[in-house]
Amino acid sequence: MGCLLYFYRPVKKAPNIIRIQFIVLILGVVLMAAKFLAYLLTNSNAILSDALESIINVAAGTLALYSLYLSKKPKDSNHPYGHGKIQFISAGFEGGMIVVAAFYILFEAIISLVTPPVVKQLDLGIYLVAGSGAVNFLMGTYLVRIGKQTRTEAMVADGKHLLTDTYTSLGLVAGLALVQLTQYVWLDAVIALLMGCMILYTGYTLIRKSLAGLMDETDLEIIEELMPILNENRNPNWIDIHNLRVVKYGSDFHIDAHVTLPWYWTLEQAHDEVTALDYLATEKFYKHVELFIHADPCLPKSCPICEVANCPERKAQFVQKLPWTLDNLLKDEKHSIEG
């Protein structure tokens, strides 16, 4: 027994995310050219590994731009939940390309250990790589900040990729400086090996997160963000909230939950409380949120935790207010003193 009530209230995203991604893509092409110039000048495999990753940056940035465009399209009869999942596909593709580049870098580094190349003009290469790294850091930091603000998974993935590129560039600059000081050319290959391993791990994490989103894996971080909002703003008429599920569709959220209300209430009263819950989620959670709220009737075991004043059907005295936790919010079971 129960009633299913549905509400949707869109919340505005940060403006111009497509334009931001486009500008980052153009800058990525310029940085890629600078890194390949550095490789041609120095013949350094470590710099080549950085330049090859720039190809991945540009390709991934192009797909991220397309995914942002597609995810902003409105829902239709063929995509009733929207097009946001494309952002997870974009992030996964980016991770896959990073893994391919990492294996190529590792292969070239191993070859270089056996047959060390002749490196030259390292000072000029260091300047070019350092400048590219600084620009990548600024772009990556900005993309991650805007991506988290708008819950835009493709933008966060692209930003983290650029930040990883920054860190590898810093290590590359330090390593090349060491090669120049010591004249140990084999260090160039060792640096490339280390960078390849770091890049490989980055690709793995992006693929892992992408698969989690595509398979609707429970995101405990999001639940933990929502939980204090519910606890701090809970209404005494909401006896409990259980069977809470959150699904991400790119930067949009779909929330399913059951709310327990007095069994004798009218449909209009239940509707008013669900409306209040909807308002709380969209105003305090500040996201694009779509809610499916199932209104459940209370049971006698609910009485000891029920704060409804002057209840005409109370079967037991109020004992204590139960805090809403990960355990009882996620369970498909009405709350009670016993657990």
- Region 187-194 average pLDDT: 80
Q: What is the pLDDT of residues 154-179, one digit of tens each?
A: 788 778 878 877 877 877 787 778 77
Query: Which of 10-19, 64-73, 197-206, 248-257 shows the lowest per-residue confidence on average (mean pLDDT)?
Result: 10-19
| pLDDT reported for residue 222 | 83
339 band by pLDDT with thresholds 50, 70 and 90: low
Task: Give 203-232 as a DSSP string.
Answer: HHHHHHHHHHHHTT---HHHHHHHHHHHHH
The phi and psi torsions of 327 (rounded to 5 degrees) equal -65, -50
Q: Where do runs of H (alpha helix) occur along the chain?
A: 17-42, 45-71, 86-114, 122-150, 153-182, 186-214, 220-232, 267-284, 326-330
Query: Tokens in use for 111?
Result: 């070859």
Q: What is the pLDDT of residues 86-135, one digit of tens each?
A: 878 888 887 888 788 788 878 878 887 887 767 777 788 888 888 988 99
The Cα–Cα gap between 175 and 169 comes to 10
Share the mean pLDDT of the chain.
83
Distance from the Cα of residue 97 to its chain's centroid: 18
Residue 119, number of CB atoms within 10 A of its CB: 21
Q: Is the pLDDT of residue 3 over 60?
A: no
Q: Is the pLDDT of residue 14 over 70?
A: no
The Cα–Cα gap between 83 and 70 comes to 6
For residue 251, what are the CA distances in angstroms to 62, 90, 223, 247? 18, 13, 15, 10
The domains spanning 14-214 and 219-330 adopt the same CATH topology: no
Q: Is the pLDDT of residue 5 over 50?
A: no
Contacts for 265 with CB less than 8 Å, ≥ 6 apart: none
255 band by pLDDT with thresholds 50, 70 and 90: confident
- Region 197-217 average pLDDT: 84
Q: Is the pLDDT of residue 252 over 80?
A: no
- Region 289-318 average pLDDT: 91
Rg over CA atoms, the chain: 26
In percent, the amount of the chain with pLDDT more than 90 equals 25
For residue 78, what are the CA distances in angstroms to 207, 247, 288? 26, 19, 20
The Cα–Cα gap between 277 and 257 comes to 11
| pLDDT reported for residue 259 | 95
For residue 119, what are the CA distances in angstroms to 32, 110, 283? 20, 16, 59
| pLDDT reported for residue 7 | 42
6 band by pLDDT with thresholds 50, 70 and 90: very low
- Given this structure, which CATH class describes domain 14-214? mainly alpha
Q: Is 204 exposed, middle or buried (0-12, 13-18, 19+ CB in 10 A)?
A: middle
The domain ranges of the chain are 14-214, 219-330
pTM for the whole structure: 0.66
| pLDDT reported for residue 314 | 93
CATH no., domain 219-330: 3.30.70.1350
Q: Is the pLDDT of residue 9 over 70?
A: no
Which residues on adjacent β-strands are paired with residue 241?
A: 259
Q: Is the pLDDT of residue 11 over 70?
A: no
